Amino acid sequence: MIAANQDELRGGARTESRLSDDLEPDRQRWKGWWRSGKAVWVLTIVALVCLAAGFGIGQLVRSPQAIAEETAVPPDGLVTAKVEARAITSAVVARADVAFADPVEINPLAPEDAGAPVVTGQVPEVGTEVTAGSVILEVSGRPVFVLPGSFRSYRSLGPGSSGPDVLQLRAALAGLGLNAGDGESKTYDAVLADAVKALYDNAGYPAPGSEDPESGRVVRDARDAVQDAKDARDQAARDLVAAKKLVEEAPDAVAKTQAGQGVDAATQALAVAERSVTRAGETLADAEKAAWTQMPVGDVVFVADLPRRVDQVNVQVGEDLTDVVAGGGEGVDPAMGTGTPSAAVVLSGADIQVTALVNADEAALLQVDGPAVLTVETAEVVGKITEICPEAAESQDPSGEGSTAGQCLVKITVTDLGAISPESMVGNVLATMVVGTSSEDSLVVPLAAVSADTAGSARVEIIDGNLAKDAPAADQPTRTVGIVAGLTAEGMVEVKESEVPLKAGDLVVIGRGGVAASPSADSELS
């Protein structure tokens, strides 16, 4: 047994000896690397990394005293702004509705000889300019003329008509350059009838009654009758002359008596012929008067303030106008394009009207003839204020739920469209109405810099000298100066006068805060 243990020990020694022999090459390689100096460089790099890590950790660590110094609130400083020399403009800004002025609904009547008012032609396009004498529609083959006038047509005009509507028609035709007769006459006469006929001729339409064969036959017969009566009168006159000559040539008293009876008969015949001529002339006059060109009530529409433009067309060729009017009733808003059509054509003024809704306080600042600028997309249109609060300062809420007290309308007239077309303006735009503008070199200060003393006088606090760097507000050199304030606009106040002369670049105090004071006027915040 002892021998066995000894054998095991000898075997273990041999194993350890073999392991030592195997590791010997590695030990030799490490000894060579160490002797080469590479180990020194590795240790140096490790040391530098540890040093950097220690420095970084040191930066993150603050003492309570350092933290208190860094978080301490700086002393209250002055917030200042510079006095500026420039113009400022005060304005009232509001939304404005733009529409063509004074819309007029056109609903022509059917011609007297037509069964229904059917549109047969001359349908205008929206935006078309309508001038005096224009044909706005053709209804049942008849033109519908637009003429200038202050009241609508309410009856057909012709022989026997007299009144202000005749005077209106005469003035309208005279305005077209037609011979309409006596401008003061309210009676429809032959001259006016000829002017009406010329109106139709110029438009390329037959005049009313001109195609009636019976009317022409009656006039021709009457003229023939007048001629026959005149011929008979002339013959009776010749017979009278002959009878008188027989009296003069009678050889005795008996012959004279007989010739005298012939004179009496010839005289009576001439008188009868004269009466026939008169009656024939009266008949001809009546026939010709009956044939005068009339102005049918359905062929004319009187509209004030021409020219105008077509805002809406609610009919087309072949449509019955009765259906258009019957389908309406709610009216049309030409500016907004809303509502149920209640007219065949809607005309409006050639001029556009602009109305802005502002509150009463803003309206009190505005003046008639004051400038206004309308912003249409990216362009500007120039106008002027023409009317302010024409009615009670209360208008209907756009929602229809109630009224908005303390507001009023401001009317604006466009004076220069520039490159903008009137049609492109219709709708809702931004209106800027100028209240006042200071001079180009007026001195202005921020509104925050102006305060009032106990008497209500305006004043500003100015920097009197140089600002002390990092000094609290109480130690800064300031001075309170009374001023006369002018226009207020754009967050600035105009300084019209001051107790101490001010100039552009001077500093005024607009507040105090936790900011260190700036030492010069080069910075607006101190």
Domain endpoint, select from 273, 290, 307: 290
- One-letter amino acid at 443 equals L
Same domain, 360 and 426: yes
Cβ proximity of 315 and 123 under 8 Å: yes
3-state secondary structure at position 28: helix
* Alpha-helix runs per DSSP H in 291-417: 321-326, 360-363
What are φ and ψ of residue 15, in 5° steps? -65, -45
Highest mean pLDDT of the ranges 113-122, 190-199, 319-328: 190-199
What are φ and ψ of residue 476, in 5° steps? -80, 150
pTM to 2 decimal places: 0.55
- Please indicate, yes or no, if residue 168 is contained in any of the structural domains: no
- Please indicate, yes or no, if residue 222 is contained in any of the structural domains: yes
Cβ proximity of 176 and 199 under 8 Å: yes
Domain endpoint, select from 240, 275, 290: 290
Same domain, 444 and 433: no
- Whether residue 391 is predicted with pLDDT greater than 90 in this model: the reply is no
Same domain, 409 and 479: no
- One-letter amino acid at 209 equals G
Kindly report, residue by residue over 8-34, the tens digit of the pLDDT: 545 554 545 554 555 556 566 655 655
CB neighbours (10 Å) of residue 57? 9
The pLDDT mean for the chain works out to: 80
Q: Which residue has the higher pLDDT, 249 or 237?
A: 237
- Please indicate, yes or no, if residue 183 is contained in any of the structural domains: no
Same domain, 362 and 430: yes
Q: What angle do CA 161, 165, 168 make, to 5 degrees?
A: 125
- One-letter amino acid at 344 equals A
Band the pLDDT of 400: cuts 50, 70, 90. very low
Same domain, 64 and 52: yes
- Please indicate, yes or no, if residue 101 is contained in any of the structural domains: no
Cβ proximity of 347 and 330 under 8 Å: no
| Dihedral of alpha carbons 148, 150, 156, 159, sign | negative
- Please indicate, yes or no, if residue 149 is contained in any of the structural domains: no
Nearest to 507 by CA among 77, 81, 76, 86: 81
Number of structural domains the chain divides into: 5
β-partners of residue 91 are 434
Q: What is the pLDDT of residue 177?
A: 95
Q: What is the pLDDT of residue 332?
A: 42
Range(s) of the domain holding residue 503: 78-86+440-513
- Whether residue 61 is predicted with pLDDT greater than 80 in this model: the reply is no
**Lowest mean pLDDT: which of 93-102, 186-195, 400-409, 517-526?**
517-526
Kindly report, residue by residue over 129-179, the tens digit of the pLDDT: 899 999 999 999 999 999 999 988 889 999 989 999 999 999 999 999 999
Same domain, 362 and 383: yes
- Please indicate, yes or no, if residue 302 is contained in any of the structural domains: no
Same domain, 424 and 448: no
